[in-house]
Amino acid sequence: MLAEKAVNQGVAPVTYGQGDRPPRGDYAAARADYTCDQNWSAYTAADHDLYRRLYERQAAQLRDLACDEFIAAVEHLGAPDRIPRFEQLSETLRRRTGWEVVAVPGLIPEEAFFALLAQRRFPVTGWLRKPEEFDYIVEPDVFHDLFGHVPLLFDPVFADYMQAYGAGGLKASRLDACELLARLYWYTVEFGLIRTPQGVRAYGAGILSSAGELRYSVKSPEPSRVGFDLQRIMRTRYKIDTYQATYFVIDSFQQLFDATAPDFTPIYRAVRQLPEIEAGAVLPGEPLIAAG
């Protein structure tokens, strides 16, 4: 009954940041779990063309900046000249790692997001940015969600991390610790760097889908690059409207998975006792990692 009601009347829209912008997606068309139909035939030729230009610009700069796992998997997105059909993409992905992509109207509430990840369903925004947002967009759109996030769902260890994160999110909601856990997402899934024999490389979706931040995060001498440290990350604030001032560097996806496997309950408690760290601050004696 409840679920049916939500289909007819829609679910509550969600906005990012201050919430002074109207939500862009059609939340009235979403189901109770916030998923909706992709409505692929509603994309225009101009949408497909804009997607292709975004894709080609990013694909051209992956070499020497993106990690190998990402580069190897990006081709699973299919030909760049069309926004992929989520159902087709899910078929391949399901066979590889048991994940699927599902359409959502845009940003969704934390709990709905965690629940989908815990079920190995990755929510991808249906709408594409406008041409005037070619270089920069505040909210995630279909290009960010697909190009940034989906390739690493083909990596078995990273795929398991994402599911564990979802389950951890449901737990964090009960412990009132979502803000601390969100920082982990931000500094790994969105803006993470990884050490490789060739130097640091990007694996975070926010970097990999950004025209300017990809090179900046890997090569610029400006930002600080700090080795992965769970408590350090949970204490660190982040900026949503500029390039990051600090990036955290993992040694491997296995390190990330193992370091986040323990029960976070005592870790949340410990972190709450410690002072927050401003975005970009470097702690005394903290070793920094060289640009890639």
Question: Which of Co ion, ligand PHE, none is residue 166 near (CB under 5 to 8 Å by kind)?
Answer: none
Quick check: 184 binds Co ion (CB under 5 A)? no
Q: Per-residue x/- marks for ligand PHE, 183-212, CB under 6 A?
A: -x----------------------------
* Torsion angles phi and psi, residue 208, rounded to 5: -70, -20
Dihedral sign computed on CA atoms, order 152, 157, 163, 169: negative
Rounded CA-CA distance 287/178 in Å is 28
Can you tell me which of 43, 165, 203, 228 binds ligand PHE, judged by CB under 6 A? 165
Rounded CA-CA distance 6/4 in Å is 5
Q: Which of 32, 184, 154, 30 is nearest to 93 (CA)?
A: 154
Cα–Cα separations (whole angstroms), residue 73 to 1, 64, 79, 93, 156: 41, 16, 13, 10, 12
Min CB(287)–Co ion separation in Å? 28
User: How many Cβ atoms are within 10 Å of 57's Cβ, its own excluded?
Assistant: 12
Can you tell me which of 59, 71, 164, 178 binds ligand PHE, judged by CB under 6 A? 164
Question: Which of ligand PHE, Co ion, none is residue 203 near (CB under 5 to 8 Å by kind)?
Answer: none
Q: Per-residue x/- marks for Co ion, 121-150, CB under 5 A?
A: -------------------x----------
Q: Judged by CB, which is closer to Co ion: 127, or 268?
A: 127
Active-site residues: which are they?
Answer: 144, 149, 190, 209
Quick check: 168 binds ligand PHE (CB under 6 A)? yes
Can you tell me which of 102, 153, 264, 271 binds ligand PHE, judged by CB under 6 A? 264
Strand 100-104 to strand 121-125: parallel, antiparallel, or no bridges (unpaired)? Answer: parallel
Question: Which of ligand PHE, Co ion, none is residue 260 near (CB under 5 to 8 Å by kind)?
Answer: ligand PHE
Quick check: 205 binds Co ion (CB under 5 A)? yes
Quick check: 97 binds ligand PHE (CB under 6 A)? no
Quick check: 261 binds ligand PHE (CB under 6 A)? yes
* Torsion angles phi and psi, residue 246, rounded to 5: -130, 135
Return the axis-axis angle of helices 156-174 and 110-118, rounded to nearest 10°.
140
Rounded CA-CA distance 10/30 in Å is 6
Within 13 Å and on the Cβ side, how many CA atoms surround 158? 26
Q: Which of 133, 182, 188, 151 is nearest to 62 (CA)?
A: 151
Quick check: 171 binds ligand PHE (CB under 6 A)? yes
Question: Which of ligand PHE, Co ion, none is residue 205 near (CB under 5 to 8 Å by kind)?
Answer: Co ion
Using Cβ positions, the residue closest to Co ion within the complex turns out to be: 205
Residues near ligand PHE (CB under 6 A) are: 161, 164-165, 168, 171, 184, 260-264
Q: Which residues contact Co ion by CB under 5 A? A: 140, 205
